């Protein structure tokens, strides 16, 4: 636990990759970063690019430097502890991740909400945030304290600030996205926290390493004897569609869709808020909006092209946000039926109870306009029009202001 608590020590020095790697080794007493089996050279290269990028273009504030240190040190400590525990766990290499249920699609389209409801099914297994960040239990005789320690780290990094939690829920016990199961590979998703374009460009073609790392972590977690089907999720899967399906060839996949005129300003606002945890420099909101349009238009249009192509599509189900919000349990029942899964009475009861008490998306409505990020309805139609029409997506009133 001391190794993780060191991340909250108020770091003020430059984020030197060599210094941070050595510190993690000293704190854990471990030094095996994975070797060829776990692409150590790529990891070290990526981590160096990330640290250099944070220093050169991240424009981190004093508090942002402390938060960055906490996040980076957690990744390093967890990588060392996981690789050490994996070597000492019998049967881990023989574990098979079979036919996971995977959610992806447009961000801000109900993927987190739906994943949270599905997670209530006792026949499914999800990765809780604390075990994604810290796969290995902490030593000691007083029970597993990872959730307590990780909640403290989330708070230290500002992830539990009310403004951010109103946009997206963060908490140690919540079902976590696959991106955080991939974090130890040090690949491309860090652009959501820091302005690190050089790192993002270099890591763009390393998605396969991220999935290799994720499956390895899942193998280790599964070695506890819990063989339930995994329920996984992240919108980022849609941007690595082919790599994701190669990694999980028997996956049961659902894809969420929502009017991009709602998604893009909401996602851009979330990005601005996350970047603000680490930097106090103003962000060009129009440029950020254009970047989100470019990224997601390519991802969703590419998916639409694949959907129109030949081949087996039985393992992919499309879900419209308007249907999900109108009647989530019917959407889930239809999803299960499409995949031949059983929605037990107990699962339905737990889902109903969760829906009655869950506050996700039920707080004060946040309104984001296209104009706020330098965009118009015509810009959205030019980028996403074919996608919207192909999937019959409801154009939400107020989404084009």
Separation CA 206–CA 40 (nearest Å): 13
**Is it the case that residue 367 has pLDDT exceeding 80?**
no
Measure Cα distances from 371 to 262, 265, 325 in Å: 12, 9, 26
Q: What is the pLDDT of residue 401?
A: 33
Give the distance between the most distant pair of CA atoms in the chain.
61
Q: Are strands 229-233 and 124-125 parallel, antiparallel or unpaired?
A: parallel
Determine the average pLDDT of the residues in 327-354: 97
Contact between 296 and 236 under an 8 Å Cβ cutoff? The reply is: no
Contact between 229 and 99 under an 8 Å Cβ cutoff? The reply is: yes
Q: What is the pLDDT of residue 368?
A: 75
Contact between 111 and 104 under an 8 Å Cβ cutoff? The reply is: yes
Q: What is the pLDDT of residue 165?
A: 86
Helix, strand, coil percentages (3-state) for the chain, rounded to 5, are 60, 5, 35
Which pLDDT tens digit goes with each residue over 158-168? 999 988 988 88
Q: What is the pLDDT of residue 101?
A: 98
Lowest-pLDDT range, 40-54, 161-175, 316-330, 357-371?
357-371
Q: Dihedrals φ, ψ of 255, to 5°?
A: -125, 120
Q: What is the pLDDT of residue 188?
A: 79
Which pLDDT tens digit goes with each residue over 372-389? 999 999 999 999 999 999
- Nearest C-alpha neighbor of 79 from the set 166, 212, 182: 182
Q: What is the pLDDT of residue 293?
A: 95
Q: Dihedrals φ, ψ of 180, to 5°?
A: -80, -20
Contact between 255 and 319 under an 8 Å Cβ cutoff? The reply is: yes
Q: Which helix (H) or strand (E) holds 210?
A: helix 207-222
Neighbours of 93 (CB within 10 A): 11
Which pLDDT tens digit goes with each residue over 34-64? 999 999 999 999 999 999 999 999 999 999 9
Q: pLDDT category, 400, cuts 50, 70, 90?
A: very low
Non-local CB neighbours of 182 within 8 Å, separated by 6+ positions = 189, 210, 211, 213, 214
Q: Give all domains of the chain, ordered by start, each with its CATH number.
A: 1-391 (3.40.50.300)
Non-local CB neighbours of 312 within 8 Å, separated by 6+ positions = none
Give 257's strand partners. 320
Determine the average pLDDT of the residues in 8-29: 97
Exposure string of 172-189, with b = 16+ CB inside 10 Å and e = fewer, is bebbbbbbbbbbbbbbbb
Which pLDDT tens digit goes with each residue over 196-209? 999 999 888 899 99
């Amino acid at each position: 636990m001391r190794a993780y608590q060191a991340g909250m020590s108020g770091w003020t020095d430059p984020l030197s990759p060599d210094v941070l790697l050595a510190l993690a080794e000293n704190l854990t007493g471990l030094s095996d970063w994975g070797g060829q089996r776990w692409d150590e050279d790529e990891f070290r290269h990526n981590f160096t690019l990330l640290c250099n990028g944070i220093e050169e273009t991240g424009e981190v504030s004093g508090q942002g430097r402390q938060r960055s240190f906490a996040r980076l040190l957690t990744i390093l400590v967890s990588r060392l502890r996981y690789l050490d525990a994996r070597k000492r766990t019998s049967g881990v290499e023989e574990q098979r991740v079979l036919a996971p249920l995977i959610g992806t699609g447009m961000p801000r389209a109900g993927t987190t909400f739906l994943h949270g409801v599905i997670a209530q099914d006792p026949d499914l297994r999800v990765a809780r945030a604390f075990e994604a960040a810290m796969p290995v239990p902490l030593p000691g005789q007083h029970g597993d304290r990872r959730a307590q320690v990780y909640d403290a780290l989330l708070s230290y990094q500002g992830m539990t600030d009310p403004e951010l939690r109103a946009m997206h829920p963060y908490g140690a016990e919540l079902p976590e996205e696959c991106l955080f199961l991939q974090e130890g590979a040090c690949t491309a998703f860090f652009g959501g926290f820091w302005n690190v374009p050089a790192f993002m460009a270099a890591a763009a073609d390393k998605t396969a390493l991220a999935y290799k790392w994720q499956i390895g972590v899942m193998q280790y977690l599964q070695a506890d004897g819990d063989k339930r089907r995994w329920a996984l999720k992240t919108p980022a899967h849609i941007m690595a569609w082919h790599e994701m399906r190669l990694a999980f060839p028997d996956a049961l996949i659902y894809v969420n869709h929502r009017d991009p005129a709602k998604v893009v300003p909401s996602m851009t606002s979330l990005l601005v808020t996350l970047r603000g945890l680490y930097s106090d420099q103003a962000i060009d909101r129009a440029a950020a909006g254009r970047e989100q349009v470019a990224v997601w238009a390519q991802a969703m249009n590419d998916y639409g092209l694949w959907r129109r192509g030949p081949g087996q599509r039985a393992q992919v189900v499309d879900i419209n946000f308007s249907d999900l919000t109108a009647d989530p349990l019917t959407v889930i029942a239809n999803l299960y039926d499409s995949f031949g899964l059983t929605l037990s009475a107990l699962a339905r009861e737990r889902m109903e109870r969760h829906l009655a008490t869950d506050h996700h998306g039920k707080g004060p409505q946040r309104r984001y306009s296209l104009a706020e990020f330098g965009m118009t309805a015509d810009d959205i139609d030019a980028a996403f029009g074919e996608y919207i029409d192909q999937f019959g997506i409801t154009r939400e009133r107020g989404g084009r202001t």
